[in-house]
Amino acid sequence: MAYPIFIFNFFVVLHYIYQAVMIPRIKSFEICDDWKLWVTFDDGFRVCYDVKDDIDTIEDFKSLITEIGLWPMAQLDASRTCITWNERIDLPSDTIYEYGVPLS
């Protein structure tokens, strides 16, 4: 009778592997005037992500300040795994999920 237990354990392990490599999908986001994004993910996790840190360290992100009107043009891509502004500026959902400050 050890065979059914082995199959059950195999599927449990597969489930945890799938969860570990799954890319978080963004349900919605709000743009704030202070270079922050409030992001809600499909699993209900909510974070505040400070884009100012990226603006200070990534050259392409400086355009968010220098190009008038670019900041509010943020869009969610079709896969819901990235917030983009243009072809050079985007934020992957896993980065936002990992480095965002959790909201209650």
Give the model confidence (pLDDT) of 26-64 as tens digits.
Answer: 999 999 989 999 999 999 999 999 999 999 999 999 999
Give the model confidence (pLDDT) of 54-102 as tens digits.
Answer: 999 999 999 999 999 999 999 999 999 999 999 999 999 999 999 999 9
Of the candidates 26, 51, 52, which has an alpha carbon nearest to the alpha carbon of residue 39? 26
Q: What is the pTM of this model?
A: 0.78
Question: In whole angstroms, what is the distance from residue 29 CA to residue 82 CA?
Answer: 11
Asked if CATH classification 3.30.2020.10 holds for the domain at 24-102, the reply, yes or no, is yes
- For strands 82-84 and 90-92, give the pairing: antiparallel
